[in-house]
Structure 1
């Protein structure tokens, strides 16, 4: 049974790193998990990133080990009690997951062993079908845009609504997602705003957090969903 906690952002305005979702993380991991394996591949300075993440997890009673400090990434995933993949650049993150040969290993641990998976921002993006709907720049090139496939849809983390007072004439986030859906076989895209969380337990998915989400499906009008909404229908292929 897959267990996922997909968070839009690591830092909410006015609070510290993971402060807005620490209660959700603690409840999600339960007492069965003592140590979390952190994947800092989305940022360049992995040591500093690991230090920040370790402080946050220690504050809620969990040990944290970073995969980049391990001699072998595959073995680290195979031995992990739970995994947390942090935010940063999604292209850099996915490329490194492929480089370290752990895409299939993570997927296997989640589906076969029910290893808890926590993603934030880029870490949530790579949990989906592909990274085609990320907001990031392609600063590096992964061998494929195909991601972990832990859910059968895509996510747009940090989703932003159009600002009616803005003088910016470029495409809105909604317009860019609609452009993606101009192509056949493009999966649904869940736009999760800052402070929004998707909690998946097996075949049940629930929106949590302090903000709502906006669902985009090909050739359909977008639909708003409030925090607390049952999103299990998204998990049906």
Structure 2
């Protein structure tokens, strides 16, 4: 039985809510179950690590959590091993993954999380939790040694998924076409997470959270919509 405890969020910012506010209940449920007091924040997806860490600290301080930036630790590997919980923030997925490899943190995070330490990912942090970062929306402004990611779940996710506007006169590629292309080449599913949604993984159970549907892209261009609270454990 897997010990993993994951909350994979589409986006930290949702219209009408403060930073992370839309996921407050899900974050609290995940962390309080493990009696977490301190979150180790991984800010590598943005350039200003101090400012990014402070943004997260300001968001969750009133919820009762202390936030420590991984970039301030003299030994990042030991910091991950000793973490009560890990939060990997959004930004540029390519920069994030490259930095994780440069600091030899990929295997360490993978082992730590698989041993039961809670992992929260948002946007890029959700991308790197999956099999690979092939389905990120980000520009490749930097180049990691491989697109293989933390592999905490055995499929890919597309955060910020936005369905095609049927009234639009735009005739270029759509998000659906690009995700179907990935599925054609790699023969594995992609879960499109819309804004305001997340995937909660508790051991071998996966549940869609939030107030919108998620879309699963499968082989042969098959697409399936799942409403909130759907059991998506079959993906694991």
TM-score higher than 0.5 here?
yes
Matched, 1:26 2:28: yes
Cα RMSD over matched residues? 1.0
The residue number in structure 2 matching 1:91 is 94
Single out whichever of 161-170 and 208-217 deviates more from structure 2.
161-170
TM-score, normalised via structure 2 length? 0.96
Distance in 2, matches of 1:172 and 1:207, equals: 24
What is the CA-CA distance between 1:110 and the residue it aligns to?
A: 1.0
Contact 2:180 2:221 in 1 (8 A): no
Distance in 1, matches of 2:166 and 2:218, equals: 24
What is the CA-CA distance between 1:22 and the residue it aligns to?
A: 1.0
Distance in 2, matches of 1:170 and 1:42, equals: 29
Aligned length: 233
- What are the within-5 Å matches in structure 2 for residues 119-138 of structure 1? 119-138=121-140
Deviations 1:47-84 (A, max 9, x none): 11000001112121111100001112111101101000
**Unmatched segments (≥5 aa) in structure 2:** none
What is the CA-CA distance between 1:166 and the residue it aligns to?
A: 2.1
Distance in 1, matches of 2:72 and 2:223, equals: 43
- What are the within-5 Å matches in structure 2 for residues 43-62 of structure 1? 43-62=46-65
The residue number in structure 1 matching 2:219 is 218
What is the CA-CA distance between 1:220 and the residue it aligns to?
A: 4.6
Match of 2:68, SS state, is strand
The residue number in structure 1 matching 2:40 is 37
Distance in 1, matches of 2:111 and 2:216, equals: 28
The residue number in structure 2 matching 1:102 is 105
**Unmatched segments (≥5 aa) in structure 1:** none
What is the CA-CA distance between 1:182 and the residue it aligns to?
A: 2.1
Distance in 2, matches of 1:60 and 1:37, equals: 15
Distance in 2, matches of 1:122 and 1:59, equals: 25
The residue number in structure 1 matching 2:177 is 175
What is the CA-CA distance between 1:169 and the residue it aligns to?
A: 2.0
TM-score, normalised via structure 1 length? 0.96
In the TM superposition, structure 1's runs of 4+ consecutive aligned residues that sit over 6 Å from their partners are none
Deviations 1:13-58 (A, max 9, x none): 1221101011110111016111000000000111110000011121
